[in-house]
Amino acid sequence: MQAMRRLVRVLVVLGVAVVTTSAQGPTAAPATPTPATPATPAAPAPKAATTSSNITGVLAKGGQFNTFIRLLKSTGVASQIDNQVSNGGNGITVFAPTDNAFQSLPSGTLNSLSDQDKNALVQYHVVSTAIPMSQFDTVSNPLRTQAGSASPGEYPLNVTSEGQQVNITTGVVNATVANSLYSEDSLVVYQVDKVLLPQKLFGTAEAPGPAPLAPAKKKGKTPATVADSPEAEASPDATTASLAPARLTTGGGLAAALALAGVWWGL
Ligand SMILES: *[C@@H]1O[C@H](CO)[C@@H](O)[C@H](O)[C@H]1NC(C)=O
Ligand SMILES: *[C@@H]1O[C@H](CO)[C@@H](O)[C@H](O)[C@H]1NC(C)=O
Ligand SMILES: *[C@@H]1O[C@H](CO)[C@@H](O)[C@H](O)[C@H]1NC(C)=O
Ligand SMILES: *[C@@H]1O[C@H](CO)[C@@H](O)[C@H](O)[C@H]1NC(C)=O
């Protein structure tokens, strides 16, 4: 038992010694952790630098834009967009058609285009202003794309929006903006369900025909709807109103006739 107690005391003493020693240690040690602390803040800095967005990186993440990525690269528009984005300015908006959208084009559509036309087709999907979803209702049609002139028959692009729903018409195709893939101050990327075919490259002789009709509809749309609605609402009311008295009159006439008949028969 005494041996045990001694052993315990020895261990206690040793333990205290160890604790004391290690307690002294930290005094010297802090020197090492201190330089480590500045090293940690240094790490996030490079991270922030690598977050610089690039169009093909954004689209690759989307997973269904392989054809568009290929076109962006082969035409050189990808690096042009990246430069524009990093230069700031008004930013860039990209309408990215899905692989499905490209697949639903008539076969040979892309192959029939010259390199210059391919470039124009891709630029037609790019607007040199960052347009967040909430601002589509403020854009004035036609929107000018990087393909050039927005005059009829050239590269006009019209956007109509209602809440979160945004439609695009080129005069050749109507597309729907499915969702925003990326939205930052200088770069906004939307998914569209159709390849935006410009009139300049794909418009037939008929295209200019329907185009003039569209503005008439659009310009008159609000007033027309307002004018139509009251009429539409008024007519059913008028109908019921005029029908009801008519029935009453008829009913009244019948009743009167029956009463007369009754009186006559009664007589
Ligand atoms: C583009 O961004 C992706 C990540 O989004 C990155 O992996 C790639 O290295 C970037 N490419 C360029 C050229 O910066
Ligand atoms: C967009 O187009 C769809 C038909 O594809 C239509 O139902 C919808 O009303 C349109 N929305 C706007 C805001 O133009
Ligand atoms: C686009 O909108 C403008 C202005 O409303 C109109 O003049 C033009 O015809 C429209 N173009 C197309 C392709 O719908
Ligand atoms: C696009 O939509 C307009 C009405 O919003 C319609 O008149 C036109 O025919 C459509 N064009 C195509 C190619 O579907």
Q: What is the pLDDT of residue 88?
A: 80
What confidence tens digit (pLDDT) does each residue in 87-136 have?
Answer: 888 999 999 999 999 999 999 999 999 999 999 999 999 999 999 998 99
Instruction: Report the pLDDT averaged over residues 218-233.
Output: 39
Contact 213, 206 (CB under 8 A): no
As to burial, measured by CB atoms within 10 angstroms (0-12 exposed, 13-18 middle, 19+ buried), residue 144 is: middle
pLDDT of residue 83: 94
Taking Cα atoms as reference points, which of 78, 74, 104, 63 lies closest to residue 194?
A: 104
Is the pLDDT reported for residue 34 higher than 80? no
Cβ–Cβ < 8 Å for 110, 195: no
Which CATH class name applies to 48-219? mainly beta
Q: What is the pLDDT of residue 9?
A: 52
Q: Ligand 3 pocket check: which of 124, 141, 149, 160 to mutate, most ligand atoms within 8 Å of Cβ?
A: 141
- Minimum-distance ligand 2 atom for the alpha carbon of 165: 13
Mean of the per-residue pLDDT values of the chain? 72
Distance 41 CA to ligand 3 centre (A): 53
* Whether residue 18 has pLDDT greater than 50: no
**Domain limits of the chain?**
48-219
* pLDDT digit string, tens, across residues 125-167: 999 999 999 899 899 999 999 999 999 999 999 999 988 899 9
Of ligand 4's listed atoms, the one at least distance from the Cα of 174 is: 1
Q: Is 105 in the pocket of ligand 4 (CB under 6 A)?
A: no
Q: Dmax of the chain from CA atoms?
A: 143
Better pLDDT: 51 or 77: 77
Residues with CB under 6 A from ligand 3: 141-142, 156, 158, 169, 171, 211, 214-215, 218
CA neighbor of 94 nearest in space, from 61, 72, 118: 72
Scanning 29-76, the segments in alpha helix (DSSP H) are 33-42, 44-50, 55-62, 66-74
Which ligand 2 atom sits closest to the C-alpha of 163? 13
Q: Is 162 helix (H, G, I), strand (E, B) or coil?
A: strand
CA–CA dist 241, 223 (Å, integer) = 27
